[in-house]
A and B are shown apart, each in its own frame.
Chain A
């Protein structure tokens, strides 16, 4: 099993030279134990220590890079089965499948849609991460040509060579080897040839077998033949196959430290009905897939799947935050009441819900307090009179409202005096302690 930070520290040079970027060897050791740093960062570590640490610090699910350059996607490195235990680490990649048997026109159109798929959601740029090129023609010349075409139209997008024909695969890999495509793949019947291509061109290799058991023996063979970077497909066709196969694989890797299945999982989720495809892709996203291959691009589908991935891969330790601004609830006029609270999303959802219930059009000033709730933020010095005053002044709300009354949460009634001093010309009103007191409070105030 993994070594603790202290055990790792004992194997380090203990020079505190800072070349690794950390202030001490101990700090570096702690980061190594958490797999947030790589031993490569230490130039002075002994060969013996490297060997011991390398084995012990290898994550239960190997890290694999899909593609090269700015849009390369890191996969693997997962450490838990349930997101509440600790954050899911590397969000799965979405790929769209293109068949080389489609017309050039059709292919170009799809590639263009992949490139245009990027959207912004809550500050993150989300997109279809990769293109899977399927060798449906079984013709090496055609396959290589399509691969070249896709690669030139989408020069930065990672590519999955979805091809079980070794000669076609070899031609395509040669054409775009510098892009580090994922060569998917190898089965028991073509393993030797595929391994040789992957080794010759230093690409990761995708393995396909029916079920975790066959897959694990295939992975052991590939590894014995010298391939390190592996992605595995348990051959699941249905939602049931995905959830059971993926769960067994991830459990074997994490709970049993079973190395032959300690690789990122690829699921081919392609259905005629795009809504069904969306639903089954949801299973793959939630249950441990690292690459989800889809059959089509629809903007609504992308949005739903991007959002699910973003939701499930958030860090459960980081409080979810909403944007700092003045939120309007209903259609508040210049005389509508103005309240303030912090940007912890649950606080925001509950407070804004109660304000809605009151049916009194209002403004809610939501202030960035790093996602802490009101009392915690106050205690941590982030929801203080001077910060509130600064936020209210800079928010521009003074131009929106005619009055100068600010309602503060009852829990921080203590702030009212100081806040009146700091916010010149404003009257501070202490609101209810709990959000469920807001409807009565606002209605009474409006009456």
Chain B
């Protein structure tokens, strides 16, 4: 029996887009095959990892993560600069978690100020995220989008409950936009339809089907992402063609596995590596399922994931 390479031909492809301005802007998406299968299609751009920073000192990060950024928490701009210059971050994700009413309830103006400060010191693409509070995000992200006018950022996340104002802000200030739904491919498609019906083009939209950490529902996200990618490629479904976002860090760093001490859990081994491995393996899951942009926290996890992405894209 003669072997013939079993190639798939797909009718669709993932939308491609550029984020950021200037020499360090980055292109993502554009592939017309399932992840990393370059034997049957073109993968013009590699997945990108953005390093997460926050507008306040995180009160829920375990020490084994927190220690890497000691001395930078009081100033988001300083923190961003450290990530870019010392840790070689290719993109920064600024999470305005301090605006959440249950955190510091920072105002939209404060958030806009932080955005400006960060933009003044970094030249890599910036992703601006709210605190995941539907009502508050509507005002915070609008103000942040305005503060970042002309910087071609990604803003988000627009959800069913607040997408109208956030989409309008992305349109007005020419940003890319993350649309997020909760682990349901049909709801993801519905939200993308609603957003494009507002005149927002698919090739400026990113889709976040909601991440889950290793051991905490990772398989749900994995399959939803795979199905989104398959719909984009095999059915040429334009509403499913936006690049996929995996917001890895925030789900990983609240699990028991990244914080339980070796004294409490001797059978789980070294806490230091365990935390990194948890974020790396979760990231790998998302990449293999089709994610184009990951948001991560631990500098070592980012470094290892970058290395494997290199291997997966260059051979």
The residues of A with any CB-CB pair to B shorter than 8 Å are 82-84, 119, 121, 212-213, 216-217, 220, 238-241, 243-244, 247-248, 251-252, 255-256, 258-261, 273-276, 278-280, 282-283, 286-287, 298-305, 307-308, 310-312, 314, 316, 320, 345-346, 349-350, 357, 359
Contacts and interface: CB of A to CB of B under 8 A. Distances in A.
B304 A279 contact: yes
A299 B267 contact: yes
Interface string B295-315: 000001000110110011111
Given A258-B3, A302-B269, A287 B218 contact: no
B1 interface: yes
A308 B218 contact: yes
Contacts of A248: 5-6, 39
Interface of B: 1, 3-6, 8, 35-39, 102, 182-183, 214-220, 222-223, 226-227, 230, 257, 267-271, 273-274, 276-278, 280-281, 284-285, 288, 300, 304-305, 307-308, 311-315
A141 to B, nearest CB: 36
B160 to A, nearest CB: 11
Contacts, number: 163
Nearest to B6: A251
A304 B35 CA distance: 22
A274 to B, nearest CB: 7
A240 B315 contact: yes
Given A238-B311, A312-B222, A276 B5 contact: no
Contact of A311 (B3, B4, B214, B273): B214
Given A304-B274, A346-B217, A275 B311 contact: no
> A-B pairs with the 6 shortest C-beta distances?
A299-B269, A300-B274, A300-B269, A282-B284, A251-B6, A84-B223
Contacts of B270: 298-300
A303 B268 contact: yes
Nearest to B309: A239
Given A83-B222, A279-B308, A308 B281 contact: yes
A83 B218 CA distance: 13
6 contacts: A83-B223, A216-B1, A244-B36, A286-B222, A302-B269, A312-B285
Contacts of A305: 281
B214 A82 contact: no
A434 B84 CA distance: 42
B304 A275 contact: yes
Dominant secondary structure of chain A at its interface with chain B: helix
A258 B273 CA distance: 42
A316 B227 CA distance: 13
Given A303-B269, A304-B214, A314-B219, A260 B3 contact: yes
A359 B103 CA distance: 11
A279 B273 contact: no
Nearest to B1: A260
Contacts of A255: 6
Contact of A212 (B5, B182, B284, B300): B5
Contacts of B223: 82-84, 316
A259 B288 CA distance: 27
A255 B4 CA distance: 12
A275 B273 contact: yes
A392 to B, nearest CB: 27
A299 B274 CA distance: 8
A239 B5 CA distance: 19
A101 B244 CA distance: 47
Nearest to A243: B36
